[in-house]
Amino acid sequence: MKTKLTLSFLSIFFLISTASCGSSKEALEEITHLSQDCPGETVPTEVHVDCFMHEKENSATAFAVLKSPNPKHEPILFLHGGPGGRSVIDRHIWLTPRSKLLSTHDLILVDQKGSGESSPSLDCWEVDQGLNKDSISACKNRLSSDGINFSSYQVKGIAEDIAQLRVSLGIKKWNLYGVSFGSRIALELLSIDGDAVNSAVLDSPLPPHVPAYDSLPSGSERAINLALDNCQKIGECDLSLLNKEIYDCSHTENLLSGCLGDLLGELNKNPILFSGPEGNITVDDSTFAFELVRTLAHPDGKNVVPKAVMLALDGRLAEAMQSLLRINISGYSKGDALSEGVQYSSECLDELPKNNPSIEKYSTPLASALSKREETLQEICAIWTPGEVLIKKHNPKSFRTETLILSGLLDPVTPASWSLKTKESLPNAILIQRENWTHAPSLNDECAKKLVYEFFDNSRWSVENPPC
């Protein structure tokens, strides 16, 4: 019998200035064109774009260079999320419309080690046909037979690969722009190659010293609770309109602790079979809760999630699931956007050891349902990196690099409390938090985009007086 598994939280989400380059001939010999044309769709743009491979003995890192017409400042290195995301094939999101960052900076997009167009790829095509113990084992065995050392795809290995790229390109100084898991790589680069970092933006940060899986359920719960509360405040979530014969909400004013908890308790006892766009799905409390998280992480999720909860409480679970599953990550190219092998390697070796899944920590139905994702990770890691995983202490290092931290109170994936933890190790950081922001605001919100541009453009302002 095959055991059905589900994806983890941290996988929801998914530059070079001529003046700054002084590469030696020996270093340049490691840089080759990726292909005659960059991979993926071609979009009309006046920006000069080149794609390359950074060739090493047993691997190659794919990267794209988006050239500014007027590079006044150090290049910006964009670090995508994941683990196991990509950015080279999705370069058009910076071109249509053209990012203001390109006004004065070259932009470097790197497919982190094992991801995207980089080689070898740790993409697990086996799990695309169904995520279960057999498909995970098949991918692990295939990659292992190819000589893949999973430990080299931890955060440190990914960061070291990027630091080598900087040296090969002859870049003395650059700026780091990390989103979600990319912020974790940025922090590691500050640790191992900090002298080369001029400034950094950390959007929806993942600090290394936070036990992510232990703290995610409560953090996600707070974000969902805020979205539901906001819906009630503006009068769009009226409990009195619900069918009281299904869920009587008269006993509470709070959707989360009251009726939603009742619904999740019922789904835990009696899961419902739902016919989704990709086949039948067994909807239990964990499945429904995770779809709330996944959807709220989307820019439009703050409007969709409360309405989906109201539908479910009204006995219309199928409609609720359809509305949640309809939300997809927009603006990205088609194709497999996640290298599962990188995801499993990093989460099993970097993240899981910091957590203590054996203790009972959650008292509410929603947090308890979300905590089951940690059990899923344990099952995956028992296959991917078998053996005892010891709890490790991670003491945060202090960096004086000028840094901008962006965080949304509606972010259910990298909760706002993590940004406060991140700032503790960055005394020169500016932290901007907004109630209407969800995950990765700098990729979707115009104000957040402006903050990033002005920060990198050396427009210094205080947290008390931001430009928007």
Instruction: Render pLDDT for 392-441 as a digit per residue (tens, 0 to 9).
Output: 666 677 899 999 999 999 999 999 999 999 999 999 999 999 999 999 99
Per-residue pLDDT reduced to its tens digit, 427-442? 999 999 999 999 999 9
Strands (E), 324-401: none
Residue 77: is it exposed, middle or buried by C-beta count within 10 angstroms (0-12/13-18/19+)?
Answer: buried
> Which letter does DSSP use for residue 21 in this model?
B
pLDDT at 279: 75
Do residues 111 and 51 make contact, with C-beta atoms less than 8 angstroms apart?
A: no
Do residues 322 and 6 make contact, with C-beta atoms less than 8 angstroms apart?
A: no
Domain annotation covers residue 434? yes
Residue numbers of the domain that contains 320: 212-325
d(CA 334, CA 291): 21
- Boundary residue ending a domain (325, 341, 360): 325
Residue at token pair 């900087």: 166
Query: Going by C-beta distance under 8 Å and a sequence separation of 6 or more, which residues neighbour residue 103?
Result: 68, 70, 453, 457
Domain annotation covers residue 26? yes
Task: Mark out the alpha helices in 257-356 (DSSP H runs).
Answer: 261-269, 285-296, 301-313, 317-325, 340-346
Q: Does 90 share its domain with 73?
A: yes
CATH of the domain at 59: 3.40.50.1820
Domain annotation covers residue 337? no
DSSP three-state, residue 229: helix
Q: Stretch 68-80: mean pLDDT, rounded?
A: 96
Per-residue pLDDT reduced to its tens digit, 173-196? 999 999 999 999 999 999 999 999
- Boundary residue ending a domain (266, 291, 325): 325
Q: Any idea how long the chain is? A: 468
pLDDT at 1: 32
Q: Does 255 share its domain with 303?
A: yes
Check residues 355 and 124 and name the one with the higher pLDDT.
Answer: 124
Q: Does 255 share its domain with 197?
A: no
CA–CA distances in Å: residue 158 to residues 164, 194, 453: 10, 15, 26
Domain annotation covers residue 313? yes
Per-residue pLDDT reduced to its tens digit, 39-49? 888 888 889 99
Structural domains in the chain (count):
2
Q: Does 156 share its domain with 192?
A: yes
DSSP three-state, residue 388: coil
Per-residue pLDDT reduced to its tens digit, 242-265? 888 887 776 666 676 678 998 999
Domain annotation covers residue 187? yes
pTM, to two decimals: 0.91
The strand pairing partners of 415, in sequence order, are none
Confidence at 328, pLDDT banded by 50, 70, 90: low
Integer-rounded Cα Rg, in Å, for the chain is 22
Q: Does 275 share its domain with 217?
A: yes
- Boundary residue ending a domain (263, 292, 325): 325
Write out the two tokens for 337. 């956007």
Write out the two tokens for 440. 């990765």
Domain annotation covers residue 63? yes
pLDDT at 184: 97
Check residues 145 and 37 and name the one with the higher pLDDT.
Answer: 145
Strands (E), 74-218: 76-79, 107-110, 174-179, 197-203
Per-residue pLDDT reduced to its tens digit, 268-323? 999 999 887 777 889 999 999 999 999 999 999 999 999 999 999 999 999 999 99
Q: Does 164 share its domain with 62?
A: yes
pLDDT at 375: 85
Q: Does 146 share its domain with 241?
A: no
Q: Does 184 share its domain with 268?
A: no
Residue at token pair 């084992």: 137
pLDDT at 453: 96
Residue at token pair 């199928």: 318
